[in-house]
């Protein structure tokens, strides 16, 4: 069964921030990251049942990049809601 993807507005900011950071590390790396993220979004339309990490939030890695896509699944609506795309080593409690 195909799931629809709903991307919260903050996610676009998360992705843009990651692209800028990665391009500072190496030219063109941000584009590769965006391609990877889009591929993961596509995967979530067919298989969103990755491990639940906290509460009802699941994550999927963006290997080889150190970012996790955080999302929830509503099985009744066949909807995946992407909540954030976060670097795995950033201290989010500060």
Tens digits of per-residue pLDDT, 37-60? 999 999 999 999 998 999 999 999
For the record, the structure tokens of 75 come out as: 């099985």
Residues 6+ apart with CB under 8 A from 76: none
Q: What are phi and psi of 50, to 5 degrees?
A: -85, 170
For the entire predicted model, the pTM comes to 0.90
For the record, the structure tokens of 78 come out as: 């066949």
* Bridge partner residues of 57 (DSSP): 54
Q: CA-to-CA distance for 60 and 53, rounded, in angstroms? A: 10
What stretch of H or E contains 24? helix 9-25
Mean model confidence pLDDT for the chain: 93
CATH number of the 4-87 domain:
3.30.2310.20
* Bridge partner residues of 81 (DSSP): 6, 72
CA distances to 47, 55, 62 from 32, in Å: 22, 31, 11
Q: What are 79-94's pLDDT values in tens digits?
A: 999 999 999 876 544 4
């Amino acid at each position: 069964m195909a799931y629809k993807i709903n991307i919260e507005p903050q996610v676009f900011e998360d992705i843009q921030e990651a692209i800028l950071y990665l391009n500072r590390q190496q030219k063109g790396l941000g584009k590769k990251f965006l391609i990877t993220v889009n591929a993961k979004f596509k995967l979530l339309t067919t298989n969103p049942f990755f491990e639940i990490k906290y509460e009802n939030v699941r994550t999927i890695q963006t290997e080889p990049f150190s970012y996790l896509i955080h999302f929830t699944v509503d099985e009744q609506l066949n909807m995946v809601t992407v909540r954030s795309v976060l670097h795995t080593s950033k201290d989010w409690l500060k």
